[in-house]
Every structure is written in structure tokens, then in C-alpha cells.
Chain A
């Protein structure tokens, strides 16, 4: 694991797992599980939260152009569930939740049929 420029004194980057299911994986090259390493601190000194993660995913992981099928008005599109370590993100503070090392974040679409 390498230090990122943004990591503060003695603070380690945050490795997490991001999963896309329920059809969302189609927007991420049909790959369900992704390993992501986030900086310990952002430029403004704050810790990365879900809002940051969303932007990070769109900027770094998502090659599909249909961003609005994932993000709407800077947040997760209604109809997509977010689970933080298997719990509904509403129980964890939604987009303000600050990511911890080893977190498992799952995005599940309820919008796709079968």
C-alpha cells in the first residue's frame, strides 16, 4: 500500500470494498466487486465520506457514460439502495458517513427487472 499525497501525518489510506449489484454492475464493466483505496484526509482536511466516494467512483471507476443511472443531483439515484457493512445507509448517516478501513459498501439497484 502506498501513501497518497493527501494522507496526513501517520494516517494511512483507507482500503474499502465497493460492490454493485441488482443490475448496477452493468455500469461498471459487469464487475461486481471493486477494491478502492481512499486517502485518509481530503485536501480540506476532512475525512472521505460517501459523498466523496460517489464522486470518486464516477471519476475513477465508471467508464459508462450513463452517469444519471447512478447519480442524480449529486446523490444516489432514487431506487438505488446503499448498504454500509450490510446496513441500510440511513442507519449510518447516509452520504455523511465517514469511511473506515475495510468497509464494505454495496450499491443495489431496485430499478432493473429480470
Chain B
């Protein structure tokens, strides 16, 4: 096939077809346009202010590596005046996170950014290796996600930084829209599409500058700029990406590439229709804690639903009746407009508290991380049996099996 000329410069050989508009671009034009679009997103949403200190949540993976590279480029090109640094969380997974942290350390040198690494062991007294030893491989992503969410905030707070950017891309956002649509979760639907998530109660702002960037283009950008990023599968959920929402998104992209941004757009438009009182409702409760599900790029779509559902059910049991009530009213309110007055009041009445244990923002007396830690600590010496109660039979039995296997091993 004869080489195709670049749509933009009409000269160089096109090497890329853009998913969003099918434009064929050469390497140089693609890199330039990709960066310019992120710049436009940043300017259009007033994402930063001059002199702002910004921590990039860095995992060493493609998304956060591209984010760091693009932000460094744009910061210099357009004089944002940002003080950028890398913030990494060490979950304590041997053979997985050690390698990716090495990548982040190289990135820190390559991008001349200071790097701070905060470990789960330091924060919670548990590494993920230890958590998995306790609860088994199923459902451990929930622990990891809840812990990571707080860890980034705490890391930022420790550095005195009030803005954390993450590498969430358009595919992630589209996936979140689909998930929340399927769950009928309006409050989260309205927040998930927003570029900035911040809570009145927390002074740490979160944003995702790559929310309009296709995962495909992020990977190609990394490829064509030969960025140093780390890829492996987490050893505790090696097939996590087989999740159905993710597969759906990728299948749709194959059929019609613009689908992904169309879903993001639909999500934004639907979000605008969500009544303000509903939108705010889950805010205090979910913002701080539940968006953690997006831990590993987008864990919520990549894990097979069962284990997440089981864990959520268990967590829900621990929640106060008050919030349960709010939740139900909230659904009524969003469906029956006539009820909005009293409903709105009830929703607003929910106040943001701080966890009694760790002082992290939470709508509950005890935040989710501390609830999980409770379960872990309670079972530290003899393990599993109680943890298994709230979960699927299959899960508890497999955990038990593991315990028995270990017991046998140590007996011999």
C-alpha cells in the first residue's frame, strides 16, 4: 500500500489514525496535536493557577508516565508556572510494585521532578502482600483501592500539596459512565465525568487532565516518544482487565472509534441533568472513599463484578442506618420530582465528618479504610474465618482452604 501523507502537514508519512476523527497523522504532528489538546483541556477548565504545586500520582504505568511527560512539556512550553512533583504509592507487592517503582525513580530523573514514595506498611501497618495472605486473592483489590485513595491524599498533605493529578483517560471515564449507568447511580454518574473532583471538606483537589485522551493515543504517544513506562499485570489480579465493562468499551471502539468520546460526552450531558441536591448527595460520602475503586487505572471495570459486590455488601453492613436511609430517599427523589423538597433537605442534612480513628474525611464514624483495617487486625493471629462470613461462599471456602493448606505445610 502506498504511504499515506499526513492530514496535517501533508508531507510526512502518516503513521496514526486518530480514533476520534479518523485523521491520519505523522509522528511529529500527532505528538504536537496530542499535547495541544491536553493544553486546551487544561486552559478550558482553568485547571491550574500559576505557582501551583501539583503532585502527579505516578505508578510507572503508561497513563501516569504520559501525564508526567505531557505536563512537563506543557509547563515549559506555555509557562504554566507549575511546581510539579511525582507522588507514588507503594502497596507493598513484591515483584510487582518494586519494578514499577524503579520506573518511577527513572522518570523522576528523566523529568527532573522530585519523587515521594509512601508505603501502605507505613500508613496502615499492612502491605498488600500481608493483606492477601490474610484475605486471599479474591477481593483484595477492594482493600488496595480504598487504601490507595487515602494514601494519595495523605501523601499530598504530607508534602503540603493541595492538587493531585491522575492519569485517568477517556476510556476510564467512558467505562465509569457505563458502570454508573448500569447501576443507576446518578450521584456518581454526575461526578465521575467531571474533570475536577474536590470536596468541601477536603482541601486536596483531584483532577484528570487526560480525561479526553484515548487510551490508544496515550499508548501511541508513549510509543512514539519512546517513554520509559512499566507494564505488567498485578500479580494479585492478573486477569483483572477481562472485566466486562472494559471489554464492552474496547469492542465498541473497534466497531466505531468515536464511541468512547461520545460516551464521555453523553455522561457529561446526563450529569448536567442530575438535580443539584442529588449530585451533592453522595458527595461527602463517596468522594472521599468510593472513587478509590479506580485504583488500578480503573479497577471497577476490570475486576469481575462478584467479588466487588460481595465486599461492598460487607462494607454496607457496617454503615450506619442513617446513610442507608438517605440512599433510599435519594433514589426516590431523583425519580419523583414532587418529592424533591423534603428529599433534598434530608440529603443536605447529611454532614461530612471525620473518621474517629484516623481523622480522614468520611460520612461514617469510621472511614472505610479503618473498617477494613479493623477486619484485618481482628483476624491477624488466626485469620480468615470471620472475614469470610460476609463474602461469597466460594470465597470464604477458598480462603479457608488456603489456611488449611498452610497449616498442613507448616505441620510437616
Could you tell me the distance in whole angstroms from the C-beta of A32 to the nearest C-beta in chain B? 10
Taking CB atoms, residues of chain A closer than 8 Å to B240 are 113
| B63: contacting residue among A66, A86, A114, CB under 8 A | A114
Query: When chains A and B are docked, how far (Å) is the Cα of A26 from the Cα of B223?
Result: 18
- A52-110 contacts to B, CB under 8 A, are 66, 69, 78-79, 81, 83, 86-88, 90-93, 97, 106, 108-110
- Kindly state whether residue A21 has any CB partner on chain B within 8 Å: yes
Could you tell me the distance in whole angstroms from the C-beta of B67 to the nearest C-beta in chain A? 12
| B13: contacting residue among A69, A87, A106, A109, CB under 8 A | A87
| B231: contacting residue among A23, A79, A83, A97, CB under 8 A | A23
Query: When chains A and B are docked, how far (Å) is the Cα of A23 from the Cα of B96?
Result: 13
Query: When chains A and B are docked, how far (Å) is the Cα of A109 from the Cα of B4?
Result: 25
- Kindly state whether residue B203 has any CB partner on chain A within 8 Å: no
Please tell me if the beta carbons of B232 and A23 are within 8 angstroms of each other in the complex.
yes
- Kindly state whether residue B48 has any CB partner on chain A within 8 Å: no
Which residue of the partner chain B has the closest CB to A112?
B231
Query: When chains A and B are docked, how far (Å) is the Cα of A79 from the Cα of B246?
Result: 9
Which residue of the partner chain B has the closest CB to A87?
B15
- Kindly state whether residue B291 has any CB partner on chain A within 8 Å: no
B-contact 0/1 string along A31-59, CB 8 Å cutoff: 00000000000000000000000000000
Could you tell me the distance in whole angstroms from the C-beta of A27 to the nearest C-beta in chain B? 10
A-contact 0/1 string along B1-36, CB 8 Å cutoff: 100100000000111110000001001000000000
Could you tell me the distance in whole angstroms from the C-beta of A94 to the nearest C-beta in chain B? 10
Query: When chains A and B are docked, how far (Å) is the Cα of A30 from the Cα of B360?
Result: 41
Could you tell me the distance in whole angstroms from the C-beta of A69 to the nearest C-beta in chain B? 8
Taking CB atoms, residues of chain B closer than 8 Å to A8 are none
B-contact 0/1 string along A1-19, CB 8 Å cutoff: 0000000000000000000
Taking CB atoms, residues of chain B closer than 8 Å to A66 are 239
Please tell me if the beta carbons of B215 and A113 are within 8 angstroms of each other in the complex.
no
Could you tell me the distance in whole angstroms from the C-beta of B64 to the nearest C-beta in chain A? 7
Query: When chains A and B are docked, how far (Å) is the Cα of A91 from the Cα of B302?
Result: 30
Question: Interface on chain B toward A: helix, strand, loop, or mixed SS?
Answer: helix
- B197-238 contacts to A, CB under 8 A, are 215-216, 218-220, 223-224, 229-234
Please tell me if the beta carbons of B296 and A113 are within 8 angstroms of each other in the complex.
yes
Could you tell me the distance in whole angstroms from the C-beta of A51 to the nearest C-beta in chain B? 16
Taking CB atoms, residues of chain A closer than 8 Å to B136 are none
Could you tell me the distance in whole angstroms from the C-beta of B151 to the nearest C-beta in chain A? 16
- Kindly state whether residue B250 has any CB partner on chain A within 8 Å: yes
Please tell me if the beta carbons of A78 and B231 are within 8 angstroms of each other in the complex.
no
| A88: contacting residue among B17, B229, B239, CB under 8 A | B17
- B88-127 contacts to A, CB under 8 A, are 100, 103
Please tell me if the beta carbons of B241 and A113 are within 8 angstroms of each other in the complex.
yes
Taking CB atoms, residues of chain B closer than 8 Å to A87 are 13-16
Q: Which of B54-62, B178-186, B273-281, B306-314 contacts A (4 or more CB under 8 A)?
A: B54-62
Which residue of the partner chain A has the closest CB to B241?
A111
Could you tell me the distance in whole angstroms from the C-beta of B16 to the nearest C-beta in chain A? 5
Taking CB atoms, residues of chain B closer than 8 Å to A110 are 62, 171, 215-216, 218-219
A-contact 0/1 string along B58-74, CB 8 Å cutoff: 01111111000000000
A-contact 0/1 string along B244-260, CB 8 Å cutoff: 00110011011000000
Given contacts A83-B223, A88-B15, A93-B1, contact A114 B216 (CB under 8 A): no
Please tell me if the beta carbons of A26 and B241 are within 8 angstroms of each other in the complex.
no
Please tell me if the beta carbons of A114 and B64 are within 8 angstroms of each other in the complex.
yes
- Kindly state whether residue B267 has any CB partner on chain A within 8 Å: no
Query: When chains A and B are docked, how far (Å) is the Cα of A90 from the Cα of B17?
Result: 8
Taking CB atoms, residues of chain B closer than 8 Å to A114 are 59-65, 100, 103, 229-232, 297
Given contacts A114-B62, A114-B232, 16 further A-B contacts (CB under 8 A): A22-B62, A69-B239, A78-B247, A78-B250, A79-B250, A81-B219, A81-B220, A87-B16, A91-B14, A108-B219, A110-B219, A111-B241, A111-B246, A112-B232, A113-B59, A114-B231
Point out residues on B near A: beta carbons under 8 Å. 1, 4, 13-17, 24, 27, 59-65, 100, 103, 171, 215-216, 218-220, 223-224, 229-234, 239-241, 246-247, 250-251, 253-254, 296-297, 302
**27 A-B pairs whose Cβ atoms sit less than 8 Å apart in the complex:** A21-B223, A21-B231, A22-B62, A22-B231, A23-B232, A23-B233, A25-B231, A26-B232, A66-B239, A78-B253, A79-B253, A81-B216, A86-B224, A87-B15, A90-B17, A97-B1, A110-B215, A110-B216, A111-B250, A112-B241, A114-B59, A114-B62, A114-B63, A114-B64, A114-B103, A114-B229, A114-B230
